[in-house]
Amino acid sequence: MERRGFLKASGVVAVSLACSSKSKASHDESPFTEDEFIGVLVDTTRCIGCRHCEVSCTESHGHEVPDILNDNALQEQRTTSEKQWTVVNRFETSKGEVFAKKQCMHCWQPACAAACPTNAMEKTHLGPVKWHPDRCMGCRFCMISCPFDVPKFEYFSANPRIEKCTMCWERLQEGMKPACVAGCPSDALVFGQKHELLDIARQRIYHHPGRYVHQIYGECVAGGTGYLYLSAVPFDEIGLQTDIGATPYPAYTREFLYSVPFVFFGLPSLLIGLNMLACRKNSIQEEGEE
């Protein structure tokens, strides 16, 4: 019994250590300001569909720049790709034509980072989710797990990379805003800290109750995201998934992972016990036969 108690206790300690190290990671000191993630507020009522965010994004990451005047890309629904980390789509809604930008949501508790066996997907202390080429082994479990289908894989390369929006990590280091925000001519994008963005969003809803749906997409979805959306129409009309729920994605595997140490220590003791019983039964039987 003593041994079992010890094993139990050590299991509990291991679990609590795992918890504490996790919560510590998300509260690291940030050079930006206090312990808060940064993000971007997308006000789809202000977006005019000019696709300048696409241009500045591709320019600043050295991708092929789309020809926004001639390529008629708004004719169809597009998803982000390994060569284009943000795209604008046009939606015919109950309140007419609406444009909405798509990119990595930079979840507060990202599924991709929880899924990654090598920590190649990293939730940085500032908030952007970043990919490390020297760690990734290309298993694509991040793509399976991401509820927004954001990470893209280079299927036609011998040295493939996982590509997705980084919220312009390099620009942030130099004190600049993300390229899409800087390139937006209509003030549809606001860059800032989580509480600032939520304040701005709530203020806009409060002052123009007729213009907006009284919800902020990203405040709760998947446990909260770095990109927040305001909209005049229900969110599913502008291509945002509404079937995701408010649970942070890592929570779906947490129970399983927490049960691991208990099985790891508990099951062997059970098996040893069963083995002793079986041996005893056999020896009694043999004696009986004699």
Partner 1 sequence: MNQEMESTGTSADTSPRGLKFILSEMKPRGKLFTPFNIISIPVILLGIVILVIRFTKGLGVVTNLNQEYPWGLWIGFDVVTGVAFAGGAYIITFAVYVMKAEQYHRLVKVTVLNGFLAYLFYAGALVFDLGRPWNIINPIIGNKFGYNSVLFLVAWHFMLYMIAELIEFSPTIAQWMRRKKAEKFLKKITLGAVIFGITLSTLHQSGLGALFLMAKPKIHPLWYSEFIPILFFTSSIFAGISMIIFEGTISHRVFRALQPKDDRYSVDDLFRGLAKGAAVAMFAYFFFKVLVFIHDHGWAHFQGFWGIWYLIEVVGLVLIPCLMFAYGARHKRIGVIRFAAIMAMLGILLNRMNISVIAFNWDHAVRYFPTWQEYVVTLMIIFSEVWVFRWIVTRMPVFSDDMPTRDQKQSLE
Contacts to partner 1 by CB under 8 A: 18, 22, 79, 81, 111, 114-120, 133-141, 143-145, 147, 149, 152-160, 241, 243-245, 249-250, 252-253, 256-257, 260, 263-264, 267-268, 271-272, 274-275, 278-279, 281-282
Ordered DSSP codes for 164-200? ---S-HHHHHTTPPPHHHHH-TTS-EEEEEHHHHHHH
CB of 153 to partner 1, least distance (A): 6
Minimum Å gap between C-beta 26 and partner 1 is 12
Scored b (16 or more CB within 10 A) or e, 259-282 reads eebeeebeeeeeeeeeeeeeeeee
CA distances from residue 138 to 151, 214, 224 in whole angstroms, order as listed: 11, 40, 27
Nearer to partner 1, 46 or 78 (CB): 78
Nearer to partner 1, 203 or 259 (CB): 259
3-class DSSP state of 211: coil
The least CB distance from residue 77 to partner 1, in Å, is 11
- The DSSP secondary-structure symbol of 220 reads S
Task: Work out how close the CB of 289 gets to partner 1 at its nearest, in angstroms, rounded to a whole number.
Answer: 14
Least Å from the CB of residue 12 to partner 1? 17
Query: Smaller CB distance to partner 1: residue 54 or 163?
Result: 163
Alpha-carbon span 226 to 37, nearest angstrom: 7
Is residue 30 helix, strand or coil? coil
Full DSSP string of 45-105: TT-----HHHHHHHHHTTPPPP-TTTS-GGGS----BTTBS-EEEEEEETTEEEEEEE---
CB of 40 to partner 1, least distance (A): 23
The residue (of 176 and 244) whose beta carbon lies closer to partner 1 is 244
Largest CA distance in the chain: 96
Q: Between residues 37 and 131, which has the closer beta carbon with respect to partner 1?
A: 131
Closer to partner 1 at the Cβ: 235 or 249?
249
| Rounded least distance, CB 18 to partner 1, Å | 7
Nearer to partner 1, 166 or 193 (CB): 166
- What are the distances in angstroms from CA 61 to CA 47, 55, 82, 99, 166? 23, 10, 11, 23, 10
